[in-house]
């Protein structure tokens, strides 16, 4: 897998320009930097003046601290009970979605003698975490009281459909603002709402921070902005060539049989590397600048493509499953659509067996 650091930084710059000068950027680097390798992602972005980095778990946050990250590290997913001490000891900023977590975080801070920095999450429609914006009157007084011994540094919500329904962002923003008015947070509390898609469809809601994710890594973020610069290319070598007579079966279950005389190339990549098995008999690849169909089921370790129209193909040739070869290109979103999933899953599903080569 080839990864372009310059494209990653270019996509960050587009996010920054979309959000405007008043909003700092907190790139999401969870799930090992969306599968690209968090150490290299952080190294590529740290020189770009980002305000901090967002992760999903305390362990991910501690890993960033171990890399010497000097900017704030924000854990956005709710903390499992028992992880508060580690979070406080590591100096992480953590999200709180309920009073029980606040109580545990306060206790952890008192045990350690250190301050605990928290971001209050308000649920405006995602439903999976956060204080309910529609019942703010019932929990706001208790929240304000519980926050007294902690350092309240942020307040945020998660958008659920910014990539497909910009009007939903307006509705969520309205709920969020009403909850903020009821809470009256101090002026230093950083407000952050917009993800990648939100930055492009509703930049007016950028507030004081934005949290871009998939767009940085080359995945489309709705229709509101420019397509991102491609960041990832996934390639493998031809390791076997086969001339097939009509009716020759191929792969597990013999889901494909040659129609006429065909020539097949076996590439050294499979679902054990993260290439979706669903691409069998429906996906394609690029070989010597030409698009070739994937035939048969994808195996754990190898994938076969029909190269009947590429007669000069040889052992050792490079087969591109994501990326550009000549005039043609396969984007990660095209692969995701064919596999009936999203680009996030394609990138984070690439396994450790795939070498990450930064260029």
Q: Report, as an integer, the average pLDDT of 128-152.
A: 93
> What pLDDT is attached to residue 354?
97
Contact in structure between 97 and 77 (CB atoms under 8 Å):
no
Residues 6+ apart with CB under 8 A from 113: none
Task: Using DSSP, state whether 122 is helix, strand or coil.
Answer: strand
- Calculate the alpha carbon distances from 254 to 28, 64, 246, 295 in Å: 42, 46, 14, 10
- Which top CATH class is 232-358? mainly beta
- State the pLDDT at residue 204: 96
Give me the percent of the chain exceeding a pLDDT of 70. Answer: 100
Average pLDDT on 91-97 reads 97
pLDDT at 148: 79
In this prediction, residue 149 carries a pLDDT of: 80
Rounded to 5, what percent of the chain is helix, strand, coil? 35, 25, 40
Look up 256 and say whether it is catalytic.
Answer: no
Residues in a beta bridge with 293: 284
Task: Give residue 226's pLDDT band: very low, low, confident or very high (50, 70, 90).
Answer: confident
Q: What is the mean pLDDT of residues 244-257?
A: 98
The predicted structure's pLDDT at residue 325: 98
By the 10 Å C-beta count (0-12 exposed, 13-18 middle, 19+ buried), 266 is classed as buried
Give residues with Cβ within 8 angstroms of 351, minimum separation 6: 272, 273, 274
Every domain of the chain and the residues it spans: 2-217, 232-358
Of the residues 30, 62, 217, 256, only one is catalytic, namely 30
Give the strand pairing for 24-25 and 290-293.
unpaired
Q: How confident is the model at residue 134 (pLDDT cuts 50, 70, 90)?
A: very high
Instruction: Tell me the H-state helices in 202-342.
Output: 332-338
Q: Using 50, 70 and 90 to split pLDDT, how confident is the model at 250? A: very high
Assess whether pLDDT exceeds 90 at residue 295: yes
Q: Which residues have a Cβ under 8 Å from the Cβ of 291 and sit 6 or more positions away? A: 284, 285, 328
Is residue 231 a contact partner of residue 5, using CB atoms and an 8 Å limit? no
Judged against a pLDDT cut of 90, whether residue 146 lies above it is answered with: no
Q: Which long-range contacts (CB under 8 A, 24 or more apart) does 309-314 make?
A: 311/263, 312/288, 313/238, 313/241, 313/263, 313/265, 313/287, 313/288, 314/238, 314/241
Please determine, for residue 225, whether its predicted confidence score (pLDDT) is greater than 80.
no
- Whether the pLDDT of residue 223 is over 80: the answer is no
pLDDT in tens, 304-352: 999 999 999 999 999 999 999 999 999 999 999 999 999 999 999 999 9
> Is CATH 3.40.50.720 the right assignment for the domain spanning 2-217?
no
According to the model, what pLDDT value does residue 118 have? 97
- From the candidates 34, 205, 217, 252, give the one annotated as an active-site residue: 252
Q: What is the mean pLDDT of residues 80-100?
A: 97
pLDDT digits (tens, 9 = 90+) for 111-131: 999 989 999 999 999 999 999
C-alpha distances (whole Å) from 168 to each of 13, 299, 340 are: 26, 41, 24
State the average pLDDT for the chain.
Answer: 96
252 is catalytic: yes
């Amino acid at each position: 897998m080839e990864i372009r650091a310059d494209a990653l930084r270019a996509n960050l710059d587009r996010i920054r320009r979309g959000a405007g000068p008043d909003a700092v950027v907190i790139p999401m680097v969870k799930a090992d930097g969306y599968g690209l390798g968090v150490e290299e992602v952080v190294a590529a972005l740290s020189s770009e003046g980002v305000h901090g980095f967002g992760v999903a778990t305390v362990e991910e946050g501690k890993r960033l601290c171990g890399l010497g990250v000097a900017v704030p590290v924000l854990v956005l997913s709710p903390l499992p009970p028992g992880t508060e001490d580690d979070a406080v000891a590591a100096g992480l900023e953590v999200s709180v979605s309920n009073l029980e977590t606040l109580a545990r975080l306060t206790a952890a801070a008192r045990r350690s003698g250190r301050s605990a920095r928290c971001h209050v999450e308000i649920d405006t429609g995602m439903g999976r975490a956060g204080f309910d914006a529609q019942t703010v009157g019932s929990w706001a007084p208790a929240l304000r009281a519980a926050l007294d011994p902690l350092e309240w540094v942020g307040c945020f919500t998660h958008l659920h459909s910014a990539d497909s329904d910009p009007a939903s962002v307006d509705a969520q923003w309205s709920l969020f603002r009403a909850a903020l008015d009821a809470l009256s947070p101090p002026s230093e509390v950083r407000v952050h709402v917009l993800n990648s898609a939100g930055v492009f469809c509703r930049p007016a809601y950028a507030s004081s921070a934005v949290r871009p994710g998939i767009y940085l890594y080359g995945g489309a973020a709705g229709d509101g902005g420019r397509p991102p610069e491609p960041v990832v290319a996934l390639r493998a070598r031809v390791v076997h060539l086969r001339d097939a007579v009509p009716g020759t079966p191929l792969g597990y279950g013999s889901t494909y049989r040659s129609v006429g005389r065909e020539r097949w190339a076996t590439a050294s990549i499979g679902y054990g590397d993260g290439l979706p098995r669903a691409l069998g008999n429906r996906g394609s690849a690029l070989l010597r600048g030409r698009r070739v169909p994937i035939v048969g089921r994808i195996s754990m370790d190898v994938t076969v493509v029909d190269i009947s129209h590429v007669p000069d193909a040889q052992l050792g040739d490079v087969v591109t499953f994501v990326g550009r070869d000549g005039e043609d290109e396969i984007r990660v979103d095209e692969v995701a659509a064919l596999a009936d999933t999203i680009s996030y899953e394609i990138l984070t599903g690439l396994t450790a067996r795939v070498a990450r080569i930064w260029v």
